[in-house]
Amino acid sequence: MTRLVAPAKLTTALGVVGRREDGYHLLEAEMVSLDLADELELAEGEEGSEVRDLVDWAGLPGTAPSEEAGLIAANLVGRALELCGRQARWRLDKHIPAGAGLGGGSSDAAAVLRWAGVEDLSVAAALGADVPFCLVGGRARVSGIGEVVEPLADGGDSAFLLVTPRVHVSTLVVYRAFDELGGPRGEHGNDLEPAALAAYPGLRWWRDLLGAASGSRPRLAGSGGTWFVEGEAGALGELAAGVRGEIVSGRESAFVTVARRAGPSTGQPAQP
């Protein structure tokens, strides 16, 4: 079998700058790949599929893998194979939480496109707005509805502490809230943050938890629900241990990890 790596993406800045007649929102964003990644194994010409939820949750004992998350992942991998005109038996090991704003499903689809030798971003865009960036990877400015990707210098070797509550945040629901609120502007680099907080009020608790622990104002990843702070990997590792302790003592459940920038389409740490 062929083993593929599907790196998570982190949206570090996001502005909503308009809306097309077909309802799609126009964005100006900055995204980076992370060394947090799903793993996909393919056996070409065979049949069958499997999704394994291996997300390392902290706090309360994990529940059964989300059927919805499994269906979304399977659908995206299957659609990518169909789009490429390829058939394969595959197994997907999920390390990226679903509904976290980290592009797990999009990166899984992009990994299939890379395997099949597809480089056309318009083909990637047919699978979802985040798939073009995930196909390119690294660090980039993203615009349009996600189909315009302009690579940027890697931006250094800083790391990110990610805290994702066990809440599946729907991008569709957040955009609907954004429109209902009249298109608010986010004060912390993400125009979707006010809408995400309106649609999922419980996200505030996690923002405040990470803010109190880190002494800095966390930012929301894309449409949510991951909060993150940026810093030096060693210091963030110590901070992550403290946050996990807070989660356990509060009888909550979340995904907590320190991730570093990854190079284009590799899932490996970027070189400073």
Q: Minimal CA–CA distance to 260: which of 223, 218, 232, 219? A: 232
Instruction: Name which of 22-26, 115-119, 189-193, 263-267 the model is least confident about.
Output: 263-267
Q: Are 270 and 34 in contact (CB under 8 A)?
A: no
Encoded tokens for 45 = 């010409």
d(CA 218, CA 119): 34
Catalytic residue, candidates 9, 38, 94, 154:
9
Question: Do you know the residue count of the chain?
Answer: 272
The CATH number corresponding to 159-260 among 3.30.70.890, 3.40.50.150, 3.50.7.10, 3.40.50.620 equals 3.30.70.890
Q: Is 9 a catalytic residue?
A: yes
Catalytic residue, candidates 53, 130, 154, 191:
130
The CATH number corresponding to 2-151 among 3.30.230.10, 3.90.950.10, 3.40.50.1970, 1.10.150.20 equals 3.30.230.10
Q: Are 165 and 97 in contact (CB under 8 A)?
A: no
pLDDT tens, residue by residue, 213-256: 999 999 999 999 999 999 999 999 999 999 999 888 878 899 99
Does 268 score more than 90 pLDDT? no
Locate CATH 3.30.230.10 in the chain.
2-151
Locate CATH 3.30.70.890 in the chain.
159-260
Question: What pLDDT does residue 271 have?
Answer: 40
Question: What pLDDT does residue 53 have?
Answer: 87
- Return the exposure string of 183-194: e unless at least 16 CB atoms fall within 10 Å of the residue's CB, then b: eeebeeebbbbb
Q: Is 22 a catalytic residue?
A: no
pLDDT tens, residue by residue, 85-105: 999 999 999 999 988 999 999
d(CA 46, CA 86): 10
The model's pTM is 0.91
pLDDT tens, residue by residue, 31-68: 999 999 999 999 999 999 999 989 989 886 654 445 55
Question: What pLDDT does residue 59 have?
Answer: 81
